[in-house]
């Protein structure tokens, strides 16, 4: 049984060092660059999941803060349990029943310790509610109180597993009882939600059904309050074919747009920008061009994370270059406020990329997000745009060592065009 | 606009053969502190058109004692590297224009952004 008490934050430093598995969601296609970053900054080997866009790696709690230094990850979670080859039951009823039973059998303790520890790294959010006296009651009483809400067959299971749990964790129970006696007026009501992601065509249930039933069992087990929007704990139930992972989220909102205060219609996630930059391996003094920069997300991420190169952001659209400059100023101001040297190695120019006002062979790397033709431009425009802009980009690139990393969704147009240019 | 960028910009007005370097006419210049990285500067110098940098520094009245030609062994001369660092990255033209040396066409600079777009008939 796991209570939260008001001494939560102090507990974090007295705990033993434990080892857990961390899961991270990353932009699809960039799993390998993210694993590289993990190896570089945390020093461990990451495993790439069959479920695209996910990597897993081990960490000890004394190094936990390092996960927040990673720039390629969108979201982080701590793994409670992983099943490589979960055998789902035939019927929906049986499957969902099994998921409910799972809630009380999972090894929550370590993951919850990590969740607690992780909270101390983040700014504290406002809404701590005090004094709900019922939280001080021992578990079995609370379970009994909810009989009316649950099906008859659940009750024997709920209480028997509760008893088991209490036996296993007697030391915890003792201290909790003491806490609850002293601290009952200040006990904190934990709010949670379950988020289920399900992929695969052989499941008999939907993600909503799984989240609902699993969540109901979690609620009953911990006596937390379910709240879909203002929650302290987000429990993740990820089901990808026969791979099932239960986790607890360590990030509140996605780390997507960390640098950008002025959005445009197609602003690229910072994590995706970082992945692209890592791919092109910027070297000191590299001149790096983004000739279709939009709001400047890619060069700005580069100027911050790979700051021994120089970035030139260009676009033909006046709103785009203005937003880029606004985003740069915003970051520089933030740095100045922290007392750091604020200037960034980046510049912005308004130009037409089909006729770049740049010296031939002056650029080391071109990195850009090509217009997809859906939200911006059109397929036909891409057809006309791609040959001339590719020619210009080839011209300004340094022969021999120059490289380009281009993000495009319009594969057909792109491959046809590269044949023409050659 | 930083002078490092200016060093790579060229006029692309149709028919112009000597569109580099662009002349700078600045009405507002600001200093913006950037962290000094000696490796960055010493590796950048060979990529620059040195005379264009000297000319630009002159036009902005920022040349100080920058030599007209590169001194040998500049890689180890931290004083020199710091001077170059300052010119390349810390001097910013906020308002003014860039002028094509051959056609005289002016490209305005506003909010630090040079507008290099050509009209239909110039391209």
Edge-to-edge strand ranges of the sheet holding A403-407:
A346-350, A310-315, A287-290, A365-369, A403-407
Longest CA pairwise span in chain B (Å):
49
B117 touches chain A (CB under 8 A): yes
Q: Return averaged pLDDT per consecutive 10 residues of chain A, 422 residues in all.
A: 45 71 93 96 94 92 93 95 92 93 95 94 46 34 31 31 33 37 55 93 92 95 92 94 94 65 71 92 96 94 97 95 96 95 97 93 92 56 71 90 77 51 39
Cis peptide leading into residue B21 (ω within 30°): yes
Interface test with A, best of B56, B93, B113 (most A CBs within 10 A): B113
**Cα distance from A341 to chain B (closest Cα, Å)?**
6
In chain A, which residues have their Cβ closer than 8 Å to the Cβ of B44? Answer: 285, 310
| Chain A 227-286, residues with CB within 8 Å of chain B CB atoms | 284-285
Contact criterion met (CB < 8 Å) for B33 and A342: yes
Q: Return averaged pLDDT per consecutive 10 residues of chain B, 123 residues in all.
A: 98 92 97 97 97 97 92 93 97 98 96 94 77
Crossing angle of the two packed helices A270-280 and A297-305, in degrees rounded to 10: 60
Q: How far is CA A327 from CA A271, A321, B31, in A?
A: 16, 10, 19
Interface test with A, best of B6, B7, B9 (most A CBs within 10 A): B9
pTM: 0.78
Domains parsed from chain B with CATH numbers:
3-114 (2.20.25.10)
| Sheet strands (E) in chain B | 23-31, 91-99, 106-110, 113-114
Say if residues A109 and A2 touch (Cβ distance below 8 Å): yes
Q: Which of A308, A325, A359 sits opposite B113 (nearest CB)?
A: A325
Virtual CA dihedral for B94, B100, B103, B104, nearest 10 degrees? 40
A121 CA to centre of own chain: 16
**List of residues 6+ apart from A8 with CB closer than 8 A:** A116, A119, A188
Given CA atoms A23, A29, A32, A34 in this order, what sign does their dihedral have? negative
Question: How big is chain A by its Cα radius of gyration, in Å?
Answer: 26
ipTM above 0.85, yes or no: yes
d(CA B76, CA A218): 65
CA angle B46, B51, B52 (to 5 degrees): 95
DSSP per residue, A84-130: SS----SSHHHHHHHHHHHHHHS-HHHHHHHHHHHHTTSPPPS----
Instruction: Collapse the DSSP code of A422 into the 3-class scheme (helix H, G, I; strand E, B; otherwise coil) and give the result.
Output: coil
In chain B, which residues have their Cβ closer than 8 Å to the Cβ of A347? Answer: 1-2, 4-5, 112
Residues, chain B: 123
Contact criterion met (CB < 8 Å) for B44 and A347: no
B10 touches chain A (CB under 8 A): yes
Q: Residue A15: its pLDDT value, please?
A: 64
| Chain B 39-98, residues with CB within 8 Å of chain A CB atoms | 39-41, 43-44, 47, 49, 89-90
Edge-to-edge strand ranges of the sheet holding A225-226:
A47-48, A54-60, A19-25, A75-83, A243-249, A233-240, A191-199, A225-226
Instruction: Collapse the DSSP code of A147 into the 3-class scheme (helix H, G, I; strand E, B; otherwise coil) and give the result.
Output: helix
Q: Residue A266: its pLDDT value, please?
A: 67
d(CA A388, CA A384): 8
Q: Residue B96: its pLDDT value, please?
A: 98
d(CA A335, CA A345): 14
**Token pair listed for A314:** 């260009």
Domains parsed from chain A with CATH numbers:
19-122+189-249 (3.30.2130.30), 270-421 (3.40.50.150)
Write out the H or E segment, with its range, that includes residue A246. strand A243-249
In chain A, which residues have their Cβ closer than 8 Å to the Cβ of B117? Answer: 316, 350-352
Say if residues A251 and A54 touch (Cβ distance below 8 Å): no
Q: Residue A173: its pLDDT value, please?
A: 35
Residue closest to A389 by CA, chosen among A410, A302, A307, B15 = A410
Residue closest to A267 by CA, chosen among A324, A191, A343, A334 = A324
């Amino acid at each position: 049984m796991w209570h939260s008490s008001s001494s939560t934050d102090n507990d974090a430093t007295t705990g033993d060092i434990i080892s857990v598995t961390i899961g991270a969601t990353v932009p699809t296609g960039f799993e390998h660059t993210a694993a590289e970053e993990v190896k570089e900054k945390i020093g461990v080997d990451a495993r790439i999941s069959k479920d695209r866009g996910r990597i897993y790696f081990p960490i000890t709690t004394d190094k936990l803060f390092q996960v927040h230094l990673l720039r390629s990850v969108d979201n982080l979670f701590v793994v409670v349990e992983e099943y490589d080859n979960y055998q789902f039951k035939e019927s929906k009823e049986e499957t969902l029943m099994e998921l409910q039973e799972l809630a009380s059998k999972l090894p929550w303790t370590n993951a919850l310790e990590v969740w607690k520890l992780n909270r101390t790294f983040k700014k504290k959010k406002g809404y701590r509610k005090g004094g709900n006296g019922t939280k001080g009651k021992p578990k079995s009483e609370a379970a009994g109180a909810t009989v009316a809400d649950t099906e008859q067959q659940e009750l024997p299971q709920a209480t028997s597993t509760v008893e088991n749990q209490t036996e296993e964790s007697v030391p915890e129970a003792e201290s909790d009882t003491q806490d609850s006696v002293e601290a009952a007026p200040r006990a904190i009501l934990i709010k949670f939600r379950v988020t289920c992601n399900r992929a695969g065509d052989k499941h008999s249930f939907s993600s909503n059904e799984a989240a609902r039933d699993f969540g109901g069992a979690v609620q009953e087990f911990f006596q937390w309050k379910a709240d879909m929007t203002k929650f302290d704990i987000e429990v993740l139930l990820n089901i990808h074919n026969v791979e099932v992972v239960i986790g607890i989220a360590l990030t509140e909102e996605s780390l997507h747009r960390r640098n950008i205060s002025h959005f445009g219609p197609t602003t690229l996630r910072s994590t995706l920008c970082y992945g692209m930059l890592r791919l092109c391996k910027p070297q000191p003094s590299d001149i790096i061009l983004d000739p279709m920069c939009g709001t400047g997300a890619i060069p700005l991420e580069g100027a911050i994370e790979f700051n021994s190169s120089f970035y030139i952001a260009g676009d033909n659209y006046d709103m785009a270059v203005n937003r880029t400059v606004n985003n740069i100023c915003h970051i520089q101001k933030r740095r100045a406020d922290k007392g750091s040297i604020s200037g960034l190695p980046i510049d912005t120019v308004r130009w037409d990329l089909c006729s770049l006002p740049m010296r031939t062979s002056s650029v080391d790397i071109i990195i850009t997000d090509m217009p997809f033709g859906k939200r911006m431009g059109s397929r036909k425009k891409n057809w006309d745009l791609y040959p001339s802009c590719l020619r210009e980009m080839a011209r300004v690139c340094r022969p021999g060592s120059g490289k380009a990393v281009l993000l495009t969704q319009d594969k057909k147009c792109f491959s046809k065009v590269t044949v023409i240019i050659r | 606009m930083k002078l490092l960028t200016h060093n790579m910009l060229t006029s692309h007005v149709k028919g112009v053969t000597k569109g580099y370097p662009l002349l700078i006419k600045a009405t507002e210049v600001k200093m913006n502190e950037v962290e000094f990285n000696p490796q960055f500067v010493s590796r950048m110098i060979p990529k620059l058109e040195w005379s264009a940098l000297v000319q630009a520094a002159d036009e902005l009245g920022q040349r100080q004692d920058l030599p007209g030609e590169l001194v040998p062994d500049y890689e180890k001369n931290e004083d020199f590297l710091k001077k170059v660092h300052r010119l390349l990255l810390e001097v910013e033209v906020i308002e003014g224009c860039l002028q094509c040396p051959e056609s005289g066409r002016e490209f305005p600079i506003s909010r630090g952004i040079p507008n290099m777009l050509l009209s239909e008939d110039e391209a």
